[in-house]
Amino acid sequence: MTELARAFDNVADAYDAARPRYPDGMYDALSEISGVTLADARVVDVGAGTGILTRGLQSRGAQVVAIDPGAEMLTRLLSRADSERSERTAAALRADGNALPLRDAVADLVIYGQSWHWLDPVASIAEARRVLRPGGTIAGCWNFTDARRPGWLAEHEGRLAGECPGYWGQAREEWTVPPMATTFDLVEERWVPWTRMIDIEDFLLDLRSHSYMAVLPRETADELVGRRRAELAEVFPEGLLAVPMRTYLAVGR
């Protein structure tokens, strides 16, 4: 297992509890652009983690195989499927997305939720193409906070950029979306705007689940979270945040 997958495993509970779901508009755009009807589609969810995207696809009727190298992340995915008594349980395989343990031409859609940027850009797409049936779809989606306008969120991101050596986000001038669209035959890119209502503690838990926080020593992360809590409480004394979000979707073949 890579250092990175281990880092995610260490924050699996925070990830599972606090990371955002994908908005309905993302699933609608995926079907519209790709022509894939999710009901009964055979989908490979690569870098499935705790199953945020897996469950969204399953609830729309897809048959999903979830792939991730992180044992703790996959344990959350499976235990949620048990506790929610999902009618469709995803098959979960602990594996590397750069070498999928699947036969050729078995899937209608290979999708990466918040994960393709952690894989090898060439090997991952070659593997996706191998397991897709002819004419199948490759897609990637990422939820981002929308910190383009000046205000509390831009300030929050700016402080993270200053305090976390591994920070990668909009507060870095060189930040761009992961360049997935340049690695396949692009059909369309789309942005889906939405608003996330979340209380301060869950927002801070979400913060802890990011890789640049997961690699910090525990004490350093605790101090940083304490500072953010105090700043947010000044802006939102009632404790509830409306976070501008946008989901990026790239669809190709």
Ligand X SMILES: C[S@@+](CC[C@H](N)C(=O)[O-])C[C@H]1O[C@@H](n2cnc3c(N)ncnc32)[C@H](O)[C@@H]1O
47 touches ligand X (CB under 6 A): yes
Among 23, 70, 140, 178, binds ligand X (CB under 6 A): 70
64 touches ligand X (CB under 6 A): no
114 touches ligand X (CB under 6 A): yes
Tell how many helices (H) and how many strands (E) occur in the chain: 10, 7
Instruction: Answer yes or no: are the C-beta atoms of 125 and 138 closer than 8 Å.
Output: yes
3-state secondary structure of 77: helix
67 touches ligand X (CB under 6 A): yes
Alpha carbon distance 11, 235 (integer Å): 27
CB neighbours of residue 29 within 10 Å: 20
Alpha carbon distance 22, 246 (integer Å): 10
Q: Could you give the string, one character per residue 134-153, with x where binding to ligand X holds by CB under 6 A and - elsewhere?
A: --------------------
Among 11, 36, 41, 48, binds ligand X (CB under 6 A): 48
Q: What's the min distance (Å) between Cβ of 220 and ligand X?
A: 21
Among 26, 73, 128, 147, binds ligand X (CB under 6 A): 73
Q: What's the min distance (Å) between Cβ of 120 and ligand X?
A: 7
243 touches ligand X (CB under 6 A): no
113 touches ligand X (CB under 6 A): yes
Burial class (CB in 10 A: 0-12, 13-18, 19+), 150: exposed
Q: What's the min distance (Å) between Cβ of 46 and ligand X?
A: 5
**Count of positions on this chain that bind ligand X (CB under 6 A):** 24
Among 18, 43, 49, 245, binds ligand X (CB under 6 A): 49
Q: What's the min distance (Å) between Cβ of 53 and ligand X?
A: 4
Residue number with CB closer to ligand X (1 or 235) = 1
**Options 24-32, 79-87, 113-121, 160-168: segment touching ligand X (CB under 6 A):** 113-121
**Options 64-72, 84-92, 189-197, 223-231: segment touching ligand X (CB under 6 A):** 64-72
**Options 34-42, 46-54, 196-204, 213-221: segment touching ligand X (CB under 6 A):** 46-54
Alpha carbon distance 46, 110 (integer Å): 7
HEC per residue, 209-244: CCHHHHCCCHHHHHHHHHHHHHHHHHHCCCCEEEEE
> Which helix (H) or strand (E) segment is 122 a member of?
helix 121-131
Alpha carbon distance 50, 68 (integer Å): 9
Instruction: Answer yes or no: are the C-beta atoms of 244 and 193 closer than 8 Å.
Output: yes
Instruction: Answer yes or no: are the C-beta atoms of 135 and 252 closer than 8 Å.
Output: no
Alpha carbon distance 202, 116 (integer Å): 25
Q: Which residues bind ligand X (CB under 6 A)?
A: 2, 4-5, 8, 19, 46-49, 52-53, 67-70, 73, 96-98, 113-115, 118-119
